[in-house]
Chain A
């Protein structure tokens, strides 16, 4: 099944790119992985999201995390304090999502992220 093998290699390399973004920016990687799977490998939106979730069950950021930790770039106190809040907040957010128009929320948030990104890039480079 050469087609299947080729596809597997493609998925692996797409995931490598997501991983580089993950390590470079300290994020999970799903933000990129989901559109990659949907656009390049013809995954349906649900299937892309489900597959991204299972890919993120093992601690895929572990090697990146160790690189940061070795350089002393981890605030353990703040990190450990944040975990329970994020967990409980996630449940709360899931509950809220059923009661609010998700598409509108996404767009408002995307707008905020865009502004924040422009601001952050500008603050870093054009000052």
Chain B
């Protein structure tokens, strides 16, 4: 069990670094289908994993190139803190079944967003960790 979980973390991390998408979008379905977690439990556990600043290394690259809007970033952090609280309030009392269905709809939306995202102009330097802290 412990070994499986360690390996799962590694696999999810590879996808995150490879595709520049967030860990949560991958983690939640992985926890639900591979570890047979309840939807609520998977989402709470995913939030726990996303607490440490996993994108710090990637951010350094963007910062060096001046591709960071600090003021907007701070505003976004505040907005997401507030919004996250509201989202948590909505999610916790929902029936697991409805939450699972809603998450499915969100995955479909995320798939479209991922498809449309243009490829960065400079090929290698940034393709590595873009948005890896992200979603």
A residues with a Cβ closer than 8 A to B are 8, 11-35, 37, 41, 43-47, 49-69, 71, 73-76, 78-98, 100, 102-103, 105-107, 109-111, 113-114, 116-125
Contact = CB atoms under 8 A, between A and B. Distances in A.
A53 B134 contact: yes
25 contacts: A16-B79, A17-B83, A24-B90, A25-B102, A25-B103, A26-B47, A31-B131, A41-B72, A45-B117, A50-B65, A57-B56, A75-B41, A78-B31, A82-B27, A85-B6, A86-B49, A89-B15, A92-B14, A93-B18, A103-B119, A109-B114, A110-B112, A116-B107, A117-B109, A120-B101
Given A18-B80, A61-B84, A109 B15 contact: yes
Nearest to B68: A50
Interface string B80-118: 111111111111100001101111111111111111111
B69 A87 contact: no
Nearest to B114: A110
Nearest to A65: B47
B128 to A, nearest CB: 4
Contacts, number: 452
A60 B105 CA distance: 23
Contact of B49 (A29, A56, A82): A82
B120 A45 contact: yes
A51 B40 contact: no
Given A23-B86, A64-B87, 13 more contacts: A12-B76, A16-B82, A26-B47, A27-B23, A27-B25, A30-B131, A52-B133, A75-B44, A80-B48, A85-B10, A89-B9, A96-B18, A106-B21
Interface of B: 2, 5-25, 27-29, 31-32, 35, 37-38, 40-59, 62-63, 65, 67-92, 97-98, 100-121, 124, 126-135
Given A65-B48, A68-B44, A97-B20, A35 B118 contact: no
B133 A56 contact: yes
B84 A32 contact: no
A67 B46 contact: no
| Residue among B8, B51, B71, B79 with the highest chain A CB neighbour number at 10 A | B79
Given A20-B83, A29-B80, A102-B119, A56 B13 contact: no
Contacts of A19: 79-87
Nearest to A37: B72
Given A21-B106, A121-B108, A55 B129 contact: no
